[in-house]
Structure 1
């Protein structure tokens, strides 16, 4: 059965009206995606890889951006093509039909102007506002190459050069009212070139980067910021000299961490210089045996002979010919004033294994396999001393045997050596630093400190640093002057230098005791600078690096 032609026509009209009505409703919904843009969506075209949105201004008039007057007289029309954020993984392009208007204000400098609908589309830009925000965030977070690659994947084609231009286009903030800052140096190239980072201590944000750490550069920065009243710094003399040269009443605050770090480094150096006293304290018998050795007596005689000839004005070559001593030895003896103790390695004692080795060897087992049995824990590094000790088993001569008392004594010495090994300098310094700061020690560490306190130089050092750490927490700067007077004439050279340094920086150290200000946040930003430089493969110039560190937290992390 065929349908009536009039009924088919009426049906098609109804369908067409419903389609138009649905399309209008969809356009209204799409227009809500741009609430502040004053745009009216005319059409949407969805392609497999791209979405095209066609729109025009929803206003019947234009506002002159130069004088602010309204106009309804249209001069011409043109099309703008703006990239927007992708929708469902598809690149999105916003096609805007823009109008030009005549300006009726006779005092206006322009006769025509182009309309600028809302705040979603910037003037002279080819990306929407939210697209610009995404580009800025990625460009500040990562390198230009990575940002360009990620944006292309999201359907926002942009080159590395454009990313860099966008970053340099961003204006840096100005801080004329800054009053508290922290300053520290950071490395462009470690050991070669350095810069300075300046942090606002009130907000905890970087406000500037300087290209070097020279006194003149920092003084010029302070001259441009005349309201600075407090400067927190490390122990650098350049920053201190820059503050002093401004002739302003600026309080300097020495960083607590650097003061404690300087004291810790001083402890390590003093322990290193007096390590032989610690060695004698723990391994006294071995030291005595070494001194009584005739070889040391002969070495001392050679040293005395060289020093006598040197005092007579003889050259190195003449002393070598006269004494027959090697040239390098003569040179080293002439450069020192006293003969240092010879360093010797402790001999490995296999006495405790003699019974087991002899029994196993009598069963026909080779010495090499027996050595593996007694060295399961890996305590013996070489087989040479082992073979030399048990040589009498392999050549048929048993040699002199130790008495039972000698066996007991050897075992006791081995146990003492196992319980109290010689600690390296860095481990000793770590234990001492924890002790002077009042931290809890285990039994062996506490025993070590008590033994070391029997040494005069160590007791002086220990109590001086302990008192210094306490007065840093005391909130009483008067204790600092008493501490300086007590230890400024000590016989320990390193400690005396440390006290003199604190005395030269007395006001800053006193302010560190009184004021609750730390330079720790600046140290944290130094680590962040390293991270940003690595993300940029070490190619970040000063201006680009400055924008990445200042603008990224200012624009995005505080929202």
Structure 2
């Protein structure tokens, strides 16, 4: 059935089109439209023309209407160009803002599908647009995401740069972040100084470059933005310090092991047996008996207060004989079953107890032993007996001290962390180990003091200067680390004086990894770059 719908009643039609009629169908809605302009400019000479050469029909997919797909059947026109110098004699009218030439989807539909593709990717986006009555293939969505137009933004003033892994340990790319706005500016497909320098030359205006201390980005920044201020990342400075302290500790490996062994033997706690953990059955049994014990406690309280047996019985809703029995026996009693004869295990209990006393705790081994003596039951029966046996009596043969009471000697890197940590924050055993270590290796005392001073400078909590600290490292194990800092002294000094760091860059790298994982590692660089740049 066809019916007339005016533009006033159908406001979903793009501007510039007139509705002629609407044809509802079971699988969608078809809307017949025509352009409302009488003249259009020639795409070659831009002269307006109103002389129609011919007409033809275009079928365009548009935004859905109330959950139903919409097809626009557009009566398009070809015009004659009357300009004598124009090489075109006829031309198809353009509909800017409505549909691109030769396209079969309206611009606004393509825009919605592109945003879905950028957010979800191909397969997930394809499932969503199908439910939203805007069906399109996953490949088309990926193509739309890859071809998404770049957002024009001014060149960043403060640029953060770091690497990200295509394949960890094999291939890396570069991410560039505007630290003032917090947005990803661009991705580079490699980790080369020349690529970074070329990008900087193409985007003049960068005044501050925040980077790690790797030579790649330092060289690229000097080549592409010679006047920019370099800022070394503070986290990388502290990491480099930790590596230097670790190397200093490793040079005294034997002495460190001796100190650790001494502390471990001196501080070894006595072996204590942890109480057996109640089973689920025991916990259910205790919950069942809890109300009876509560009523006994109330009866005991009333009896101690001088109440008669009848009064107690009325107050606790018990029989008088029950009250007398509870008060006489000193408890409510239990509903425990009489001990069984052992069931199918009865003929073999003596052997099991004997082997248990000898130290055999493996239920499977016990099951095999009594199987040779004629036992026909399953392994689970012996395992249940062994479990019950462990609960009824603590196992003194296999006792182990609890983790809270043991002190494990740290690794070389662990020792380095203890030396860099605040003494007040260390456990008592760790403090004793550090004191023993420093007493045996005086050179590490200087390393610890210098490490604390440098960390305070990086965290802007120190009172000295970087130059004072560098001078103090002479003749110590940190002299090599200080020599490396001198090669990049301006960037390190800027790190101590400015608030910039690559922390926001690391956050954007985590987002990039998430996007990369959603595409199962199959995305090409352009698609990954487009989705990362348009990520919310």
Q: What is the TM-score of this pair, normalised by structure 1?
A: 0.66
Aligned in 2, Cα 1:379/1:480: closer, same or farther, shift over 3 Å?
farther
Structure 1 gap ranges (5+): 1-18, 289-345, 354-362, 381-413
Give 2:119's aligned residue.
Answer: 141
**Counterpart of 2:164 in 1: which secondary structure?**
strand
CA RMSD of aligned residues (A): 3.9
Q: How does 1:106-505 map to 2 (within 5 A)?
A: 106-117=84-95, 119-172=97-150, 177-245=155-223, 248-271=226-249, 274=252, 276-281=254-259, 283-284=261-262, 366-368=357-359, 373-375=393-395, 379-380=399-400, 418=405, 420-424=407-411, 428-435=415-422, 440-441=425-426, 449-450=434-435, 452-454=437-439, 455-474=441-460, 479-490=465-476, 492=477, 495-505=478-488
Counterpart Cα distance in 2 of 1:376 and 1:197: 60
Superposition deviation, residue 504 in structure 1: 1.7
Name which of 31, 35, 39 aligns with 1:57.
35
**Counterpart of 2:26 in 1: which secondary structure?**
coil
Does structure 1 retain, via aligned residues, the 8 Å contact 2:60–2:106?
Answer: yes
Superposition deviation, residue 420 in structure 1: 4.2
**Counterpart of 2:222 in 1: which secondary structure?**
helix
Counterpart Cα distance in 1 of 2:394 and 2:164: 53
Structure 2 gap ranges (5+): 274-352, 362-388
Superposition deviation, residue 189 in structure 1: 1.1
Structure 1 runs (4+) greater than 6 angstroms displaced? 285-288, 346-350, 414-417, 475-478
Q: Deviations over 1:120-148 (max 9, x none)?
A: 33332211122111221122223334434
Matched, 1:33 2:12: yes
Counterpart Cα distance in 2 of 1:147 and 1:277: 61
Q: Deviations over 1:359-394 (max 9, x none)?
A: xxxx977132799555489754xxxxxxxxxxxxxx
**Counterpart of 1:483 in 2: which secondary structure?**
helix
**Counterpart of 1:27 in 2: which secondary structure?**
coil
Superposition deviation, residue 88 in structure 1: 3.2
Aligned in 2, Cα 1:379/1:282: closer, same or farther, shift over 3 Å?
farther
Aligned in 2, Cα 1:27/1:443: closer, same or farther, shift over 3 Å?
farther
Q: In the comparison of the two structures, how many residue pairs are matched?
A: 426
Q: Deviations over 1:127-176 (max 9, x none)?
A: 11221112211222233344344434444343344334434444445767
Does structure 2 retain, via aligned residues, the 8 Å contact 1:282–1:420?
Answer: no
Superposition deviation, residue 232 in structure 1: 1.0
Q: What is the TM-score of this pair, normalised by structure 2?
A: 0.68
Give 1:510's aligned residue.
Answer: 493
Does structure 2 retain, via aligned residues, the 8 Å contact 1:145–1:160?
Answer: yes
Aligned in 2, Cα 1:208/1:416: closer, same or farther, shift over 3 Å?
closer
Superposition deviation, residue 56 in structure 1: 1.3
Counterpart Cα distance in 1 of 2:455 and 2:264: 37
Counterpart Cα distance in 1 of 2:184 and 2:76: 42
**Counterpart of 2:205 in 1: which secondary structure?**
coil
Q: Deviations over 1:404-425 (max 9, x none)?
A: xxxxxxxxxx999946443455
Give 1:333's aligned residue.
Answer: none
Give 2:342's aligned residue.
Answer: none
Name which of 78, 87, 90 aligns with 2:65.
87
Select between 200-209 and 371-380 the one with higher mean Cα deviation.
371-380
Q: Deviations over 1:245-271 (max 9, x none)?
A: 458222211001111222234344544
Does structure 2 retain, via aligned residues, the 8 Å contact 1:31–1:39?
Answer: no
Counterpart Cα distance in 2 of 1:185 and 1:452: 38
Give 1:532's aligned residue.
Answer: 515
Aligned in 2, Cα 1:121/1:217: closer, same or farther, shift over 3 Å?
closer
Counterpart Cα distance in 2 of 1:133 and 1:416: 59
Counterpart Cα distance in 1 of 2:396 and 2:10: 79
Name which of 79, 84, 87 aligns with 1:101.
79
**Counterpart of 1:523 in 2: which secondary structure?**
helix
Aligned in 2, Cα 1:478/1:443: closer, same or farther, shift over 3 Å?
closer
